[in-house]
Amino acid sequence: MRSYVHGYSEKESCRLAAQAGTLTELLHGDTAYPAGSRVLEAGCGVGAQTVTLSRSSPGAQFDCMDISAASLDAARRMAAHEQLANVTFRQGDIYHLPYRAGSFDHVFVCFVLEHLADPLRALAGIRRVLKPGGTLTAIEGDHGSYYCHPKSRAADLAVRCLVRIQAEAGGDALIGRRLYPLLSGAGYAAVAVSPRMVYVDASRPALVDGFTRKTFTAMVEGVKAQALAMRLIDEQTWNRGIADLYRTTAPDGTFCYTFFKGIGARP
Amino acid sequence: MRSYVHGYSEKESCRLAAQAGTLTELLHGDTAYPAGSRVLEAGCGVGAQTVTLSRSSPGAQFDCMDISAASLDAARRMAAHEQLANVTFRQGDIYHLPYRAGSFDHVFVCFVLEHLADPLRALAGIRRVLKPGGTLTAIEGDHGSYYCHPKSRAADLAVRCLVRIQAEAGGDALIGRRLYPLLSGAGYAAVAVSPRMVYVDASRPALVDGFTRKTFTAMVEGVKAQALAMRLIDEQTWNRGIADLYRTTAPDGTFCYTFFKGIGARP
């Protein structure tokens, strides 16, 4: 479990919840499943997206699966607290999905493929559990899409640490740009990928706080100990990089990041 | 005139025309001026945007200005060929606009600020020729927003040459991310900036050809001689970089670039 780059701490659960709140409309606004659909959320984690899924599609039935028992416990508590009636949880491995072929009308994966050493194999396995004509929806970020004003070499280096740590753990923090070839390569049909860009300036104070500060910069800050232990950066450069990321939240600063959302159908 | 990074060649005029065609809806689809408006297009160049402006706002009257007599000649020929009835051309310096204060209902600048050593001063001068309540619309790219799949260090270095050459000429190829602070800093009110991201994959063949190949990569290729003469890169790396940019047009490749459109009003 240690290879999950963002860790499993309480603080991290808060970050994921804040992220989900800020980005809900941008990422999930166009996802709704018909009543009666059976939907798998593969890699649901602590349930950060589950509440949105459940509420956007009240007539669908969600099977939410994750490899981490601790995350599932948190997700179950969240679902009980939010009184989600159309959600069940189950532990399982995304490479060996514990479902028969053709079990689902739709599958949803969000911020999961970036952590996998072999996303193509996972996507092929997901295809197997879809009914013919059923769809996969995948949402991923791409840390290479980040840029800001004022520009900062130290901030770039700090962000690059996150990319390298995720690569070291077997993942790919630059996977957003690869969604199209991954879904196509895994045998999905009618693949359509759309970018979801987050642009932040002082006229968008909710994003300044909710995205630049509490989502992106908090995520980078979360790997400080690992980055220093792995000697990817010296502490002075790191601290300056983090300070420069916060500097972009000043009235004359701007910040950019892009998520990618891909949809494909089982032929 | 030599400091205009893209040059004034016939081939470059074709590139600008191809670019305008591909991106018209993305960049200009939400720009239309009311009948009776008097609009200044500052830095119209060869008129690549002028035809779109003129046709989108047939009842407005456009004063199109550029510092280059040769570009204005090309723009006048284009306007005659396209039978644009609501456009007149005039030579002038964007730092010393040849118009009285409060002459215009609206001003439009596109791919101009990136070439200026002092965009803030130009924007303040534009504010002067606007009527109170009149708007400025500014559109710029940001070469730091480029990324692609497959990733290529050589392609990154080739693109960086363009950024450095433009900086050497006194411009800023990364100006898109700065539009918000620039417009705010120049005294505009109600500043609103929106990103216009171009995402290209094999499912969008018109963009693969019209944007990745004929707009972006052609633009980078256009500075090869300068990049080599300035010893910013060796020829082998350059050639590999350009080949890698074309490589992104294969069925499994993707390409991303973001323009920024900003609007502000004279208080």
Residue A1: the pLDDT is 39
Q: What pLDDT score was predicted for residue B23?
A: 81
Which chain B residue shows the shortest CA-CA distance from A258?
B197
* Residues of chain B contacting A181 with CB distance shorter than 8 Å: 149, 201, 251-254
- CB-based contact (8 Å) between B177 and chain A? yes
pLDDT of residue A10 exceeding 90, the answer is no
Cβ-Cβ contacts under 8 Å, B142 against chain A: 147
- Pick A256's closest partner by Cβ from B177, B202, B254: B177
Q: Is residue A55 over pLDDT 50?
A: yes
Chain B residue at shortest CA distance from A254: B177
> Residue B116 has which token pair?
């200026």
Is the predicted pLDDT of residue A106 greater than 60, yes or no?
Answer: yes
Tokens at residue B89, please? 């051309």
Check if A187 contacts B (Cβ < 8 Å): no
Q: Does A219 lie at the interface with B, CB-CB under 8 angstroms?
A: no
Q: How far apart are CA A226 and CA A11, in angstroms?
A: 16
Tell me what ipTM this predicted complex has.
Answer: 0.91
What per-residue string of b and e applies to A142-177 under the rule 16 or more CB within 10 Å gives b?
bbbbbbbbeebebbebbbbbbbbbbeebebbbbbbb
pLDDT at position A2 is: 44
Residue type, B123: L
pLDDT at B8: 64
Closest residue of B to A175, CA-based?
A: B149
B149 touches chain A (CB under 8 A): yes
Q: Which of B144, B193, B254 sits opposite A180 (nearest CB)?
A: B254
Contact A197, A257 (CB under 8 A): yes
* Rounded-to-integer distance, Cα A211 and Cα A22, Å: 7
Per-residue pLDDT of chain B (267 residues; tens, 9 = 90+): 345 666 666 666 655 555 555 688 889 989 999 999 999 999 999 999 999 999 999 999 999 999 999 999 999 999 999 999 999 999 999 999 999 999 999 999 999 999 999 999 999 999 999 999 999 999 999 999 999 999 999 999 999 999 999 999 999 999 999 999 999 999 999 999 999 999 999 999 989 999 999 999 999 999 999 999 999 999 999 999 999 999 999 999 999 999 999 999 999
Q: A174 contacts in B (CB within 8 Å)?
A: 151
**What pLDDT shows up at residue A203?**
93
Nearest to A112 by CA among A131, A129, A92, A130: A92
* CA atoms lying within 13 Å on the CB side of residue B38: 9
The H-or-E segment that residue A199 falls in is: strand A189-200
At CB < 8 A and 24+ separation, what contacts does B84-90 make?
B84/B50, B84/B51, B84/B54, B84/B55, B86/B54, B86/B57, B86/B58, B86/B59, B86/B60, B86/B61, B86/B62, B87/B50, B87/B54, B87/B62, B88/B61, B88/B62, B88/B63, B88/B64, B89/B44, B89/B64, B89/B65, B90/B63, B90/B64, B90/B65
Query: What residues are paired with B89 via a beta bridge?
Result: B64
Contact A115, A169 (CB under 8 A): yes
Q: Which residue has the higher pLDDT, A226 or A20?
A: A226
How far off is chain A from B197, nearest CA to CA, in Å?
8
Phi-psi region of A165 (alpha: psi -120 to 50; beta: other; left: phi over 0): alpha
**B200: closest CA of chain A, how far (Å):** 9
Cα gap B206→B212, rounded to integer Å: 9
d(CA A48, CA A13) in angstroms, rounded, equals 8
Using an 8 Å CB-CB cutoff, list chain A residues near B203: 180, 191-193
Say if the Cβ atoms of B142 and A147 lie within 8 Å.
yes
Element (H, E) at B135: strand B130-140
With CB atoms and an 8 Å threshold, state whether B148 touches A192.
Answer: no
pTM of the model: 0.92
Number of neighbours of residue B242 by Cβ within 10 angstroms:
18
DSSP A133-180: EEEEEEEE--GGG-EEES--HHHHHHHHHHHHHHHHTT--TT-GGGHH
For A199, the closest of B195, B252, B253 (CB atoms) is B195
Q: CA–CA separation, B146 vs B213, rounded Å?
A: 14
> Would you call B149 and A177 a contact, using CB atoms and an 8 Å cutoff?
yes
Rounded to the nearest angstrom, the minimum Cα separation between A248 and chain B is 11
Segment A125-157, tens digit of pLDDT: 999 999 999 999 999 999 999 999 999 999 999
**Could A256 and B254 be called an inter-chain contact, meaning their C-beta atoms sit closer than 8 Å?**
no
Among A157, A145, A162, A262, smallest CA distance to A199 is for A145
Q: Strand B130-140 to strand B254-265: parallel, antiparallel, or no bridges (unpaired)?
A: antiparallel
| A170: pLDDT strictly greater than 60 | yes
Rounded to a whole number, what is the distance in Å from the CA of B124 to chain A's nearest CA?
17
Nearest to A75 by CA among A44, A110, A109: A44
Flag whether residue A199 sits within 8 Å of chain B, measured between CB atoms: yes
Confidence (pLDDT) at A41: 98
Bridge partners for A87 per DSSP: A62
- Asked if the Cβ–Cβ distance from A252 to B185 is below 8 Å, we say yes
A192 CA: distance to closest CA in chain B (Å): 7
Q: Taking the CA atoms of A152, A156, A157 and A162 in sequence, report the sign of the dihedral they define.
A: positive
Residues of A in contact with B149 (CB under 8 A): 177-178, 181
CB interface of B with A, residues 226-265, below 8 Å: 251-254, 256, 258, 260
- Using CA coordinates, name the residue in chain B closest to A261: B199
Q: Is the pLDDT of residue A51 over 80?
A: yes
pLDDT number for residue B2:
44
Residue A14: the pLDDT is 55
Which tokens go with B67?
């510092």
Token pair in block for residue B17 = 């025309």
Chain A nearest CA to B14, separation (Å): 29
Chain B CB contacts of A203 below 8 Å: 180, 191-193
* Cβ contact, residue pair A177, B258, below 8 Å: no
DSSP state of B118: -
Q: What is the 3-state secondary structure (H, E, C) of B38-59?
A: EEEEECCCCCCCHHHHHHHCCC
Q: Looking at the complex, does the CB of residue B174 fall below 8 Å from at least one CB of chain A?
A: yes
Q: Does B151 touch chain A (CB under 8 A)?
A: yes
